[in-house]
Amino acid sequence: MTVKLMQRQLTRRQILGMVALQGAAAAGLTRIGLQVASAAEPAAVDNAPAIVVGSGYGGAVAALRLGQAGIRTLVLEMGRLWNTPGPDGKVFCSTRTPDQRSMWFRTRTEAPLATFLWLDLVNQDISSYPGVLDRVHYDHMSVYVGRGVGGGSLVNGGMAVTPLRSYFAEQFPTVDTAEMYDTYFPRARSMLGVNTVDPAWFESTEWYRFTRISRKHADNAGLKTTFVPNVYDFGHMEREAAGTATKSALAGEVIYGNNQGKRSLDKTYLASALGTGNVTLHTMERVTSISRAADGTYLLTADRIDDTGTVVETKEYACTYLFLGGGSIGTTELLVRARESGTLPRLDASVGTGWGTNGNVMLGRANHVWDTVGANQSTMPVMGIDDWANTANPVFAEIAPLPMGLEHWVSLYLAITKNPERASFTYDPASGAVRLGWSAAQSAVSVGMAKKLFDRINKANATIYRYDLFGSSNKVFADDFTYHPLGGCVLGRSTDAYGRVKGYSRLYVTDGSLVPGSIGVNPFVTITALAERTMARVLAEDTAP
Ligand code: FAE
């Protein structure tokens, strides 16, 4: 995107914030704020009125709204700031040739789709580095998360889906749905820069042939498909296709970051937050513990790491208002440890429960030789098979790309099933580790539901599953990972109806931990809208002098 174009689309505050981000990156700084951008020495911020842990959706909304309210706020993010080009001139590496920038302290990449024709062709050796995508392993489930300024927005597929109103109401019985659908969902979508693919372009471009084929096969089975909005700039994508813009979504970029086109949080909420002049961001700092002083001040300990992962400094912070936006597993882990190790003993017993995978299962189907999916595929999904209304087997399946640069006849999907299974986190005092009690049997429930839907599609089209994509054991359904970790500090159970954590005043959760394990669609619009609702209430009621 040219500077001119950016200036047309961005607010003055966002531009100021982006200048701050660029200035910090150029100088290799891990402390980012407007003062830094103007080269002045930043004010001491180790004691801030408000601290936000994490800079994903929940953290970014909190930071912006606090900054706008004139409250000096510090954001602590364990990942790095992603806007310094590497030796190849690009900020992020591509999925086809991943390097150290791809994954969080790994020596080999761990992509979800690990094999092709049973061959270990996808993953590659890399050097250890604070890369942008992490895969957090628990016993029977691993969780993909984004690491860096912008959290999951840096690595996700950008699908910006508002949940079905009736299902939202089912999941959040205490939340006023009219207020959500009239105020907070529209606010979230507008701030996130949600847009939709031009249907005419979609129908004609080679880049979405894979989607049209999947739509045809769903149609043959009598299933409904629906367009899904995205935060990737479709104008940019069309220019990529026309050869007038540098390719990103059309160059296989997604899970290790997009160098162009994606409206990730560093370009939206976080740029605006920094632009208020009240928000400072520290990167490469992982909060390890939270406690509370006798006067009610929250005390945080954070490890600052370098590019090798070595802790170079242990820092102490104090604040009056503490907002947790570390994501479902980041926030839940901090709170479970705080309760069980006795630093926040009054946290509710429900903290650490109600966790789910949003029913995620990935699978591939093998198409007939005449049903080509195209060598050229956009990485941004724009359509889903919507069978959520089928009460016997509710599934919403995203039609996912598999951009290998060659014709492979694979239709790939990320199914979101209405799996009612939930798991809890436990604390191991000996190691200090927090574990997740999700079992293989709980994943099997999602598989059963996805299988019912895709058996229908295979039957109607005389096609079969692909057995070669998820390792050497002929695995059809990848049920051992999730992109959508949800829950652990559920709204209305571990918190009040607005995300205020039970047992402690001025302690808030604003991220995916609030969602009770399932939302039926890709979750970031819901997380953003709920965070907007929390911030509106908290700023009106809790922070008045
Ligand atoms: P999140 O975005 O994960 O942000 C948490 C931040 O906190 C991260 O930056 C962490 O590094 C940081 N952090 C955690 N612990 C600490 C700590 N102790 N100290 C300091 N910092 C910490 O949380 N969702 C959609 O709606 N549409 C999609 O198309 C989609 N595609 C996805 C594709 C992939 C590959 C992945 C991994 C996820 C996808 N998601 C998608 C899920 C979405 O990104 C996710 O629900 C949100 O990012 C969750 O937002 P939170 O604010 O909860």
User: 75-86 pLDDT, tens per residue?
Assistant: 999 999 999 999
Give the residue among 156, 159, 168 at the shortest CA–CA distance from 226: 159
pLDDT, tens digit (0-9, with 9 covering 90-100), for 148-170 = 999 999 999 999 999 999 999 99
Q: Which numbered atom of ligand 1 lies nearest the CA of 302?
A: 19
Whether ligand 1 lies within 6 angstroms of the CB of 58 is answered as: yes
pLDDT of residue 26: 59
pLDDT, tens digit (0-9, with 9 covering 90-100), for 269-283 = 999 999 999 999 999
Q: What distance in angstroms lies between residue 461's CA and the mean position of ligand 1's atoms?
A: 36
Whether ligand 1 lies within 6 angstroms of the CB of 524 is answered as: yes
Confidence class of residue 40 from pLDDT cuts 50, 70 and 90?
very low
- Three-state SS letters, 138-197: CCCCEEEEECCCCHHHHCCCCECCCCCHHHHHHHCCCCCHHHHHHHHHHHHHHHHCCECC
Average pLDDT over residues 538-542: 97
pLDDT value at 55 more than 90? yes
311-324 vs 298-305, strand pairing mode: antiparallel
504: left (phi over 0), alpha (psi -120 to 50) or beta: beta
Q: Which of the residues 240, 408, 484, 532 is marked catalytic?
A: 484
pLDDT of residue 10: 62
Q: What percentage of the chain carries pLDDT values higher than 70?
A: 93
CB within 8 A of 541, min separation 6: which ones? Answer: none
pLDDT of residue 28: 66
pLDDT value at 147 more than 50? yes
pLDDT value at 267 more than 60? yes
Pocket test for ligand 1, best of 92, 144, 156, 282 (most atoms within 8 A of CB): 156
Confidence class of residue 45 from pLDDT cuts 50, 70 and 90?
very low
Alpha carbons 56 and 524: distance in angstroms, whole number: 10
Q: Which residues pair with 413 in a beta bridge?
A: 363, 399
pLDDT value at 138 more than 80? yes
Whether ligand 1 lies within 6 angstroms of the CB of 56 is answered as: yes
Whether ligand 1 lies within 6 angstroms of the CB of 55 is answered as: yes
Per the model's pLDDT, the better-predicted residue between 518 and 404 turns out to be: 518
pLDDT value at 541 more than 80? yes
Question: Do residues 260 and 248 make contact, with C-beta atoms less than 8 angstroms apart?
Answer: yes
Structural element, H or E, at residue 410: strand 410-417
pLDDT, tens digit (0-9, with 9 covering 90-100), for 436-482 = 999 999 999 999 999 999 999 999 999 999 999 998 789 999 999 99
Q: In Å, how far from its chain's centre is CA 62?
A: 16
Catalytic-residue membership of 398: yes
47-53 vs 311-324, strand pairing mode: parallel
Q: Which residues pair with 202 in a beta bridge?
A: none
Pocket test for ligand 1, best of 51, 52, 57 (most atoms within 8 A of CB): 57
pLDDT value at 210 more than 60? yes
Q: What distance in angstroms lies between residue 324's CA and the mean position of ligand 1's atoms?
A: 13
Q: What distance in angstroms lies between residue 145's CA and the mean position of ligand 1's atoms?
A: 5
Confidence class of residue 30 from pLDDT cuts 50, 70 and 90?
confident
For the domain covering 46-543, report its CATH number: 3.50.50.60
Average pLDDT over residues 505-516: 98
pLDDT value at 176 more than 70? yes
pLDDT value at 390 more than 80? yes
DSSP tag of 251: G
pLDDT value at 119 more than 90? no
Whether ligand 1 lies within 6 angstroms of the CB of 157 is answered as: yes
pLDDT value at 3 more than 60? no
Whether ligand 1 lies within 6 angstroms of the CB of 57 is answered as: yes
Q: What distance in angstroms lies between residue 463's CA and the mean position of ligand 1's atoms?
A: 35
Q: Which two tokens stand for residue 206?
A: 């080679």
Q: What distance in angstroms lies between residue 89's CA and the mean position of ligand 1's atoms?
A: 26
pLDDT, tens digit (0-9, with 9 covering 90-100), for 328-361 = 999 999 999 999 999 999 999 999 999 999 999 9
Confidence class of residue 19 from pLDDT cuts 50, 70 and 90?
low
DSSP tag of 501: B
CB within 8 A of 498, min separation 6: which ones? Answer: 491, 533, 534, 537, 538
DSSP tag of 398: E
Confidence class of residue 7 from pLDDT cuts 50, 70 and 90?
very low
